[in-house]
Amino acid sequence: MTRFVLLFFCCAVLAGGCLTSAAASEYRDDVQSGRIVFATGFETAAEQEMKLPQCYSIGRFGRNGSHCLKVERRNPKAYTLKGFRVSVVPGKNYLLEFYARSGNLRRNSSSSGAPGIAGFEYYGSDGKWIAGKYLHLGVPGEEWRKYSLTLSIPENPKIAKVSLLFYLCKGWTGTLWIDDIMLRNLGTIHSAVIVEPGNLCFRNGDGRFILKCNQDSPDALAARLTLSNGGKDYEQVLEVGPDKILRGDFGKLSPGKAGLKIELLDRKRKKIIARESFRMRVTDGKVPENAALIDRYGRLIVNGKPFMPVGAFATLDGNLEKQVGRLQEAGLNSVIGYCNFAMKAAPAKKTQQENILAALDLLERSGIKSIFCVKECIPDFGTGESFDGVRGWLEPVREIARAIRKHPALLAWYIGDEVPVSNIGNLIRLRETLAEEDPFHPAWTVTYEANEFPRYATASDIVGYDGYPFRKKSVPVDLRRHYENILKMNSAGLPHWGVPQVFCWGNHLAENRSEYGDYIVPSLENMRTAALLFVAGGAKGFLFYSMQDIFTLSGKYNPDPAAHAAEQWKKVGKTAEMLKELEPFIMSAEPAPGVTFDGTRAAVRAFRAEDGRECVVIVPFREKTGPIKLKIGSEKEFVSKYGHTGNTGDGMYEFTADRLESDLLFSR
């Protein structure tokens, strides 16, 4: 194999001179700093089937309707502990993060002042208990509360086993829910995300690329990259600019397979702080019909034109014709189909491939694109899939990609639905496999773990955030945290598609009709505001969650399920209509006018369409925020669509609303 060493420098040379490949080879390995040593969201089959002591169970009580650990004690004398063995190093510092909520916690006179919640126990090689560290934390309350604790493991040579506990102290009764546990070495997780080229594919042999490093990476940052292609290794050492963007060019590449290895280098500490590797491809430049490719503005381009997905999550394993009719009724152009491997159009065909292709034909005739779901193939997370007798986890993925990659209804691949960060490695493999078989449709993954977006972005072409803010009526809605999470997602450097909430949390959490009444059933204003929060955050696609909630799950506690579903679905249609009205603005590449406003109270974003029209989106973070003043840097006059904003003169506007309602301003 031939080796070429190409040195490029993207910014000013730092003190100490240029970094050479030879010098970089002497850097010490510090990749494990900040790495996760234990993580669980209780989503794998093994976790859900684990043997648990009395008072413990696992069920769908989690933060996002997912699974979590439940500790329920009615008898104050029934004291049991559940531990998870963790691989830690005595004397080292760690960060423990988890979420907890409680219900009806009570203590008797003999119990401690705090319920306990979490702790560590240390055992010797003989299995005997040595010591314990019990974190007597305060009562979390009925809403999910995040705990972040920095702690050290004692330096004791006798410690051979460490167990992480979640429990209620003796004497306490009530219920405790624990979710999304993560224990990591104290430090920062660094990552490098491929922004360009998309789909892990160098097109037309063009070796140019753009990488994005996490915003909190060191200032004195460099990267060593090695690309293997056509029997040659191309190596570059690049300095990363203050914007954490890295640009380079491997030159003309040979069609076929390619492998890219990246090392991030902390020049000040002379350490390797991250490693990434990607299986990639080089094509000859021919783009097939119906390809969906991301452009430099984050837009999806289908057959040469920008395409903005406005769709819904739906379970497509029943009467497909009826479900497609509902999608058309709401004016949607896309669908993420749970159970895609089982979908079929009437009449049923002999093989799975024939059924899926017939279903895609129906979607195409109906003007609906498929964001095809393969998330269930991921081991230790999904339920598993098979395709016409082909089993495994990557094998069915390859077969389905080969079978449908040329179908005009295919828009993208949905590869990750709140996959635990501990399973990112398998998510990366899934994305690589799809890119090898189909480099002309992007992969999308969704999570609500905003702090982990840099890691999820290494496994995606498009990222998504699915925080659902409208919960209990008794808890005031605060959209600021959700908007901050959307901005964190943007920092990964990839385009994003939003997941607006249109469902009621009572469908998942209420145990009877009375409890269901405690939850918010989204109004039209709620749905509109949820969608516009993503618009303000720069989303280029919108997939409502979810159709099955409205037509199936909401029927449990509504006296007239059909009427309720029809009413809610009509609201979805009106929200979709609003998004389509905004499409010329959202998908425009024109520079937008500036807007001055109080960013602590609202999300505001301006747009300019290609025809010169301008629009401003206003989303307050809370109810009754009081007047919000805006100054728009435009000579045009703007008119409010929903009546919440008035023109006060000299380019100034004032937004007011008694409820949590948003507004749109359009230029005359």
Give residues with Cβ within 8 angstroms of 370, minimum separation 6.
334, 335, 337, 340, 360, 363, 409, 410, 411
291 within domain boundaries: no
289 within domain boundaries: no
Whether residues 466 and 523 fall in one domain? yes
Whether residues 380 and 367 fall in one domain? yes
> In 383-523, which ranges are E strands?
410-417, 443-447, 462-465
547 within domain boundaries: yes
Whether residues 503 and 633 fall in one domain? no
Whether residues 43 and 106 fall in one domain? yes
> Average model confidence (pLDDT) for the chain?
90
User: Domain boundary at 240, 265, 282, which?
Assistant: 282
Whether residues 48 and 148 fall in one domain? yes
Task: Count the alpha carbons within 13 Å of 126 in the hemisphere toward its beta carbon.
Answer: 4
Whether residues 156 and 83 fall in one domain? yes
Q: Is 352 left (phi over 0), alpha (psi -120 to 50) or beta?
A: alpha
Task: Give the model's pLDDT for residue 601.
Answer: 94
297 within domain boundaries: no
Whether residues 350 and 446 fall in one domain? yes
425 within domain boundaries: yes
Give how many domains the chain has, as a whole number.
4
Whether residues 114 and 95 fall in one domain? yes
303 within domain boundaries: no
User: Domain boundary at 534, 556, 586, which?
Assistant: 586
- Domain holding 273, by residue range, is 2-32+189-282
Whether residues 601 and 561 fall in one domain? no
Task: Give the model's pLDDT for residue 9.
Answer: 35
State the Cα–Cα distance between residues 366 and 432, nearest whole angstrom. Answer: 31
Residue with the two structure tokens 């306990």: 116
Whether residues 55 and 11 fall in one domain? no
298 within domain boundaries: no
287 within domain boundaries: no
Amino acid at 635: E
* String of DSSP letters for 103-137: EEEEE-TTS-SS-EEEEEEEE-TTS-EEEEEEEEE
Task: Give the model's pLDDT for residue 113.
Answer: 60
State the Cα–Cα distance between residues 397 and 39, nearest whole angstrom. Answer: 26
- H/E/C letters for each residue in 218-270? CCCEEEEEEEEECCEEEEEEEECCCCCEEEEEEEECCCEEEEEEEEEEECCCC
- Bridge partners (DSSP) of residue 56 are 71
User: Domain boundary at 156, 185, 214, which?
Assistant: 185
Asked if residue 45 lies in contact with residue 380, where contact means CB atoms within 8 angstroms, the answer is yes
Task: Write the CATH number for 83.
Answer: 2.60.120.260
Asked if residue 204 lies in contact with residue 284, where contact means CB atoms within 8 angstroms, the answer is yes
Task: Give the model's pLDDT for residue 19.
Answer: 73
Whether residues 401 and 530 fall in one domain? yes
The stretches in the chain having pLDDT less than 50 are 1-17
Write b or e for each residue in 30-57: b if 16 or more Cβ atoms lie within 10 A of its Cβ, otherwise e: beebbebbbbbbbbbeebeeeeeeebbe
State the Cα–Cα distance between residues 132 and 649, nearest whole angstrom. Answer: 66
pTM of the model: 0.84
Residue with the two structure tokens 């081991």: 379
Helix (H, G, I), strand (E, B) or coil at 391: coil
Whether residues 539 and 446 fall in one domain? yes
Task: Write the CATH number for 267.
Answer: 2.60.40.10
Asked if residue 589 lies in contact with residue 609, where contact means CB atoms within 8 angstroms, the answer is no
